[in-house]
Amino acid sequence: MNDHLQGIQTGDATTTEAPGGVSVPDVPSQRFYVTTPIYYVNDIPHIGHAYTTVIADALARWHRLLGEETFFLTGTDEHGLKIQRVAAANGISPQEQADRTSERFREVWKLLDISNDDFIRTTEPRHTRSVQALLQQIHDNGYIQKRRYSGPYCVACEAYYSDAESQEHGGNCPVHGTPLEHFEEDNYFFKLSEFTQPLLEWYEANPHAVQPEGKRNEALGLIRQGLEDISISRTSISWGIPVPWDPGHVFYVWYDALTNYITAIGYGADPERFETWWPSVHHLLGKDILRFHCVYWPAMLLAAGVEPPHQLNVHGYLLVGGKKMSKTRLNQIFPADLVNGNEKLGFAAFGVDGFRYQFLRDNPFGPDGDFSYEGMLTRYNADLANNLGNLLSRVATVVASKCGGIGPAPQIASPLAQVAKEVYDETAAAWAATAPSRALEATWRLIREANSHLEAHEPWKLDPGPAVDAVLGDALEVLRIVAVLASPALPTTTAEIWQRIGLSGTAAEQRLPEAASWGLYPGGLRVTKGAALFPRLS
Ligand code: MSP
């Protein structure tokens, strides 16, 4: 077999052999488990939900490219008073409310090409079993106690606040700004106070568990203040999972919800499967739910004798007009309006990959970021239409006019080979650090350099021959590498690029790092121009 064919699929060959004859292991060397928060079913999916889910999806796709066995979980959080009240307001049962809205999430994830391996709903029997098993274990270990509770409560947060917090905010919820309600009931309490020291030790021993650094400090701050025991059950509502040792109580929605991450991998049902995936999990979450994930969740697991999660990646809000999106502010934006366009709102159709690119590329992971339609338009036209789209269409046009439509092979000693190597290293490091925006910025450097290379040599002005072949071969090789590196962000358009440059299969089926090696585009393949990948939008 020709050296250039090794390690990739072309029109006529498939191999799992890497360059130099090193075989690529079919058995994954590592596992990658990634989760999104599970979304409440009181609200339909908006771009804030999509933001987290697209990032999780791109991470899962990147790890699949690395040949890792990957499990990507998302789902819906369906119990609690908030859902019960919305259902009542809509004149339907909570289950109907959950069924309808959960379906909306599934539809939108399908629209956005989300490749989740499982979709968990907290009303499923498998989840009831797992929640009851976890909480029973914590109870058996002596960390749960019954007490009478009264205090200010926010239904939107599904959380009690301390009197001090309530006073500080004038009787309003610190997150929502709406009046807190006074609740009083018999509750089971989780003895969180006993976990202050174990949590501090866990943070000390796992300095990278909470990312980024600022969010780790925020979590540590909460723990260092000293932790109070927390109420984990309710008698005031019935829409929840019954406490197994006292079925008059249901678990408070957060303890039910957090457990989803272990239900889906078989906690309480399939110990072998559970051991396979836990604790090497990467949770993605917004900063509003840091306390639950970075304090309560590891403490619950420690109390049950289970290791806390490997990594918690906390991101900021996606703001619209400087404000967090909410139904009451009427500033929600829905994914389909940006993917398919919405004339009434004056939105162009960015397509699925245009949408995904914006939310992966625009905001660095961590701080808040403001969504701007104009910003999205500018970025789409610059990065996708001009840089990537133009590279493909220019190359295909010149291959048609100067090479009879057959793409030449790259030069091994191309000046772009070194750039490709650096770009791969930077891209890989950024994905490993959960920094999609940096990863795409790195990948786009290769596109820009290839465009400059074309402009410097102007093959369209030359007569057919080796000089033209060299420049076009290099540009085709860049397109091949970019198709692989950008496939987590742009699954559809990179599959299209792959085909148009004559390769068979998909970019996403390739394996890194082998597929990023310079010189694998074999040449001799038919290159097709086709319609603009990313039509310019105005
Ligand atoms: N159901 C809980 C999570 C339980 S996880 C065990 C919940 N649901 S939520 O639907 O309200 O929010 C889910 C996630 O979406 C949170 O991480 C939240 O930060 C994120 N976002 C919701 N709106 C958002 C923005 N405007 N911007 C960024 N993320 C946003 O909380």
Query: Which element (helix H / strand E) includes 466?
Result: helix 466-485
Domain spanning 373-526, CATH architecture: Orthogonal Bundle (1.10)
Q: Residue 288 C-alpha to ligand 1 middle, in angstroms?
A: 7
User: Distance (Å, rounded) from C-alpha 52 to C-alpha 291?
Assistant: 18
User: Distance (Å, rounded) from C-alpha 319 to C-alpha 331?
Assistant: 9
Q: What is the pLDDT of residue 331?
A: 84
Q: Residue 260 C-alpha to ligand 1 middle, in angstroms?
A: 15
Say yes or no: CB of residue 333 within 6 Å of ligand 1.
no
**For this structure, is 49 an active site residue?**
yes
Tell me the percentage of the chain whose pLDDT exceeds 70.
95
Q: Which of 43, 55, 77, 79 to mutate to test the pocket of ligand 1 (most atoms within 8 A of CB)?
A: 77
Nearest CA owner, ligand 1 atom 18: 286
Tokens in use for 103?
A: 């379906």
Say yes or no: CB of residue 257 within 6 Å of ligand 1.
yes
Choosing from 79, 82, 157, 191, the catalytic residue is 157
**For this structure, is 173 an active site residue?**
yes
**CB–CB of 53/238 below 8 Å?**
no
pLDDT, tens digit, 9 for 90 and up, residues 31-61: 999 999 999 999 899 999 999 999 999 999 9
Nearest CA owner, ligand 1 atom 30: 48
What dihedral do alpha carbons 216, 429, 284, 511 form, nearest 10°? -160
Say yes or no: CB of residue 45 within 6 Å of ligand 1.
no
Domain spanning 28-320, CATH architecture: 3-Layer(aba) Sandwich (3.40)
Say yes or no: CB of residue 127 within 6 Å of ligand 1.
no
Residue spans of beta strands (DSSP E) within 219-351: 230-231, 233-234, 250-251, 281-286, 311-315, 318-320, 323-324
For residue 323, pLDDT over 70 is answered with yes
Q: How many CB atoms lie within 10 A of CB 179?
A: 13
Banded model confidence at residue 93, pLDDT cuts 50, 70, 90: very high
Choosing from 154, 249, 283, 294, the catalytic residue is 154
Choosing from 169, 310, 324, 421, the catalytic residue is 324
**Cα R_g (the chain), whole angstroms:** 26
Banded model confidence at residue 107, pLDDT cuts 50, 70, 90: very high
Ranking 147-161, 253-267, 486-500 by mean pLDDT, the lowest is: 147-161
Banded model confidence at residue 159, pLDDT cuts 50, 70, 90: confident
* pTM, full prediction: 0.91
Atom number of ligand 1 nearest to Cα 292: 6
User: Distance (Å, rounded) from C-alpha 275 to C-alpha 179?
Assistant: 44
Tell me the percentage of the chain whose pLDDT exceeds 90.
85
Q: Domain coordinates of the chain in residue numbers? A: 28-320, 324-363, 373-526
Q: Residue 50 C-alpha to ligand 1 middle, in angstroms?
A: 10
Span 503-512, average pLDDT: 94
Q: Residue 254 C-alpha to ligand 1 middle, in angstroms?
A: 13
For residue 17, pLDDT over 50 is answered with no
Please check whether the two domains, 28-320 and 373-526, share a CATH topology: no
For residue 5, pLDDT over 90 is answered with no
**CB–CB of 387/451 below 8 Å?**
yes
CA of residue 160 relative to chain centroid, distance: 29
**For this structure, is 215 an active site residue?**
no
Span 509-519, average pLDDT: 97
Say yes or no: CB of residue 77 within 6 Å of ligand 1.
yes
Say yes or no: CB of residue 286 within 6 Å of ligand 1.
yes
Q: Residue 200 C-alpha to ligand 1 middle, in angstroms?
A: 26
Tokens in use for 138?
A: 């914590």
Banded model confidence at residue 29, pLDDT cuts 50, 70, 90: low
**For this structure, is 139 an active site residue?**
no
Q: What is the pLDDT of residue 100?
A: 97
Q: Residue 49 C-alpha to ligand 1 middle, in angstroms?
A: 6
pLDDT, tens digit, 9 for 90 and up, residues 200-246: 999 999 999 999 999 999 999 999 999 999 999 988 788 999 999 99
Nearest CA owner, ligand 1 atom 28: 317
Nearest CA owner, ligand 1 atom 10: 39
Say yes or no: CB of residue 38 within 6 Å of ligand 1.
yes
- Burial state string for 134-160 with b = 16 or more CB within 10 A and e = fewer than 16: bbbbbbeeebbeeeebebbbbbbbbbb
Choosing from 169, 176, 310, 457, the catalytic residue is 176
- HSE of 283, CA atoms in CB hemisphere, 13 A: 28
Banded model confidence at residue 127, pLDDT cuts 50, 70, 90: very high
Q: Residue 289 C-alpha to ligand 1 middle, in angstroms?
A: 7
Comparing 162 with 499, which gets the higher pLDDT? Answer: 499
Atom number of ligand 1 nearest to Cα 297: 6
Q: Residue 285 C-alpha to ligand 1 middle, in angstroms?
A: 7
